[in-house]
């Protein structure tokens, strides 16, 4: 950690909490970590990993079954229009076993691999964003995943069968004043006098599935402890059954997209939680959350890549059908570029998503950087690709699918897809937070070697000792960033793909030099240069995707499959241009002007009134009752049955 004397005490505490919660040790090599150091480890991506044939057969079968069911029973446009996922859909998901996709079979789940889990999510996503959002929130950040990773045997035996059976779960972290800064969390849990319960009080915002959840994973502060004379805040995770007295849902939030997700405000008033319901131990809540998110973040690449596959196919059909100015629009250069971008984006997203899934299934690879980068890359590109696809479609892209169908047009739901896609840049870590997370991990090697130079209170002797120790590493490492290309052996493959890997290798060494120079010259100031860090991170992400696309395509060509070659060549050229543009923007930008202008604008702006949710009334949560005006509950109840649908649903 770079210690910055300009931090306020509050900022310092926030950084300390975040730093204490991150995974400190790398359990294996990471391709992205090696890339930011300019010392690429090709062994992790060449040959490009392929799904095991037996596992693929399992995935093919379940995905075909889910797709057939969804075609018959899952109407995404109607769900978007009504804002309700019907009880019949929940029953279908339960019958298909989709509430327990990754839960081991011995607990009643399907026991699928991460790769097949992502394939199932992608299949559902092509039909309805709200439904896949509900499934993903339940399984990736809800109870099943953290329970698998950190639960006691007793907790697993009690709750995993309920989750697989259809009990809906949710994750409660965000508060009105706390998003990505959990150090300021106000929800608090303290031990009861008899030591048998935790007493929970507080309020959580934007809890996806929270309105109908049977079980929550709740993050709360617990008593601080003193470490070296300083207070250290502790955040812990708790399993909370929502039928316990004191748990109340006060509001169902409504959004731009995913209009049927059951997202709301939840209050806890003197909720008594059995002591055995703490997850991962006192003070380890954020570590649990960050580790869980490694796999959880991979759900977004799965969803965006599958949605883009459907968009790509339709865009080609439209570009061939629509005839303007004597040509099909796909034959005009502007249309050709849009169509190519959408199609190549699909390949890039699918490649990164599949790579992340393969690493996760291996189980012995550290995926913290790859998972965060895949989430960042696919959420940003998914939005851009959907926007380009809508522009290619023109006015019909802006029109709802139901309106198009009513007047006899092809009713592809582009307008709904664009709204649903936008949230991916925000959930499970905003793009800005992902940039900072990846920047911190990219600097990890340097901080472990030379971090003493930036340590608060370091004496001259301390700094001299650090320089002496670090010079052993840097005297060899830094020159290799200039001449290392002579010693790096690029994997043998198709010549065109290999030339792009050569580009990646050269630019990775330039990236490592750039990061090192910024660290040396800016020192602690680098922490506040978020746009500089974001560009550095984006260069590394783009180079990673280029390497993966080249490796995957080369493997396909070797097997006699050239289907993706032209698409890959377009994307790789696109990547080269973007990488060099990002390098240019590092020294040619308006960052300083933005800081000056923003300062003036903030001085002139008035503060918004404080948030006040005290006037909200609790929603009725009993099974079968209305949760909001005209809505019927689909809340399962622990082990209970779904209520019958009302006529309105």
Q: Hey, what are 280's tokens?
A: 């991962």
Residue 180 C-beta-side C-alpha neighbours within 13 Å: 14
Q: Which of 323, 507, 416 is nearest to 75 (CA)?
A: 416
Q: Which of 165, 241, 415, 428 is catalytic?
A: 428
Q: Please tell me the distance from the alpha carbon of residue 384 to that of residue 407, in angstroms, as a whole number.
A: 28
Asked whether the beta carbons of 286 and 17 are under 8 A apart, the reply is: yes
Quick check: helix, strand or coil at residue 225? Answer: strand
Burial zone of 230 (CB within 10 Å; 0-12 exposed, 13-18 middle, 19+ buried) = exposed
Residue whose pair of structure tokens reads 């300009």 in the numeric block: 6
CA distance 645 to 649: 6
Is 575 within 8 Å of 542 (Cβ atoms)? Answer: yes
Q: Is residue 93 helix, strand or coil? A: helix
Find, among 578, 585, 487, 502, the residue nearest to 540 by Cα: 578
State both tokens at 35.
């890339």
Strands 230-241 and 327-328: unpaired
Residue 96 burial by Cβ neighbours in a 10 Å radius (0-12, 13-18, 19+)? middle
Which among 538, 491, 470 is positioned nearest to 36, based on CA atoms?
A: 538
Write the DSSP string, 437-455: HHHHHHTHHHHHHHGGGG-
Collapsing DSSP to helix, strand or coil, 186 comes out as coil
DSSP SS3 for 285 = helix
For residue 340, what are its two tokens?
């190519």
Q: Token digits for 404? A: 């198009």
How far apart are the C-alpha atoms of 50 and 113, rounded to whole Å?
13
- What distance, in Å, lies between the first and last C-alpha atoms of the chain? 53
CA separation for the pair 287, 237 (Å, rounded): 10
Backbone phi, psi, residue 499, to 5°: -65, -35
Catalytic-residue membership of 428:
yes
Q: What is the DSSP string of 65-87?
A: HHHHHHHHH--HHHHHHHT---H
**Cβ-contact 308, 342 below 8 angstroms:** yes
* CA atoms of 80 and 93, how far apart (whole Å): 18
Give burial (CB, 10 Å; 0-12/13-18/19+) of 158: middle
Residues linked to residue 230 through DSSP beta bridges, in sequence order = 227
Report the DSSP pairing between strands 323-324 and 188-191: unpaired
The Cα–Cα gap between 395 and 414 comes to 11
Between CA 163 and CA 214 the distance in angstroms is: 9
The maximal CA–CA distance of the chain, rounded, in angstroms, is 83
Indicate the DSSP class of residue 137.
I
For residues 185 and 268, the answer to whether their CB atoms sit within 8 Å is no
Catalytic residue positions, numbered: 428
């Amino acid at each position: 950690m770079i210690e910055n004397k300009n931090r306020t005490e509050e900022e310092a505490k926030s950084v300390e909490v975040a730093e204490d919660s991150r995974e400190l040790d790398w359990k294996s090599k990471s391709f992205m970590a090696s890339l930011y150091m300019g010392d690429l480890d090709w062994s992790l991506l060449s040959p490009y990993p392929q799904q095991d044939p037996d596992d693929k057969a399992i995935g093919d079968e379940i995905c075909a079954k889910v797709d057939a069911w969804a075609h018959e029973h899952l109407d995404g446009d109607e769900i978007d229009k009504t804002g309700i996922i019907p009880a019949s859909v929940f029953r279908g998901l339960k019958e298909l076993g989709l509430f327990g996709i990754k839960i081991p079979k011995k607990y009643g789940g399907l026991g699928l691999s991460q790769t097949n889990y992502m394939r199932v999510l992608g299949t559902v996503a092509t039909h309805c964003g709200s439904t896949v959002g509900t499934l993903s929130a339940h399984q990736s950040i809800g109870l099943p995943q953290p329970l698998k990773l950190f639960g006691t045997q007793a907790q697993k035996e009690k709750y995993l069968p309920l989750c697989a059976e259809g009990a809906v779960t949710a994750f409660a972290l965000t508060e009105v004043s706390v998003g990505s800064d959990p150090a300021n969390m106000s929800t608090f849990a303290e031990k009861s006098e008899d030591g048998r319960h935790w007493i929970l009080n507080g309020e959580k915002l934007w809890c996806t599935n929270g309105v109908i959840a049977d079980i929550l994973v709740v993050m709360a502060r617990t008593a601080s402890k003193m470490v070296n004379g300083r207070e250290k805040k502790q955040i812990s995770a708790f399993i909370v059954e929502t039928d316990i007295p004191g748990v109340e849902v006060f509001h169902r939030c409504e959004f731009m997209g995913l209009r049927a997700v059951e997202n709301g405000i939840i209050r806890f008033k003197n909720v008594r939680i059995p002591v055995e319901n703490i997850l991962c131990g006192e003070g380890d809540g954020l570590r649990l959350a960050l580790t869980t998110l490694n796999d959880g973040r991979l759900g977004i690449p799965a969803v965006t890549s599958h949605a883009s596959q459907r968009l790509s196919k339709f865009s080609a059909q439209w570009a061939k059908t629509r005839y303007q100015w004597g040509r099909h629009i796909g034959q005009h250069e502007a249309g050709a570029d849009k169509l190519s971008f959408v199609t190549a984006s699909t390949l890039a997203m699918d490649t990164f998503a599949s790579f992340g899934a393969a690493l996760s299934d291996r189980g012995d690879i550290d995926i913290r950087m790859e998972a965060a980068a895949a989430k960042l890359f696919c959420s940003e590109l998914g939005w851009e690709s959907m926007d380009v696809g809508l522009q290619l479609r023109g006015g019909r892209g802006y029109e709802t699918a139901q309106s198009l169908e009513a007047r006899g047009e092809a009713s592809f739901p582009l307008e709904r897809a664009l709204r649903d896609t936008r949230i991916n840049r925000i959930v499970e870590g905003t793009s800005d937070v992902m940039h900072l997370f990846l920047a911190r991990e990219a600097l990890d090697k340097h901080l472990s070697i030379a971090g003493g130079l930036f340590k608060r209170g370091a004496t001259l002797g301390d700094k001299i000792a650090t320089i002496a120790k670090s010079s052993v590493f840097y005297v060899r490492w830094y020159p290799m960033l200039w001449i290392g290309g002579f010693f790096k052996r690029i994997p043998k493959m198709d010549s065109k793909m290999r030339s792009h890997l050569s580009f990646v290798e050269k630019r990775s060494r330039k990236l490592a030099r750039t990061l090192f120079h910024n660290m040396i010259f800016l020192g602690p100031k680098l922490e506040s240069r978020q746009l500089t860090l974001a560009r550095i991170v984006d260069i590394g992400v783009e180079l990673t995707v280029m390497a993966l696309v080249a490796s995957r395509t080369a493997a396909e060509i070797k097997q006699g499959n050239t289907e993706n070659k032209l698409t890959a060549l377009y994307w790789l050229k696109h990547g080269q241009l973007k990488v060099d543009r990002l390098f240019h923007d590092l020294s040619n930008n308006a960052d300083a002007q933005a800081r000056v202008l923003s300062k003036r604008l903030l001085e002139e702006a008035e503060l918004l009134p404080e948030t006040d949710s005290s006037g909200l009334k609790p929603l009725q949560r009993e099974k079968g009752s209305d949760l909001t005006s005209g809505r019927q509950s689909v809340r399962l109840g622990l082990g209970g049955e779904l209520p019958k649908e009302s006529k309105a649903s």
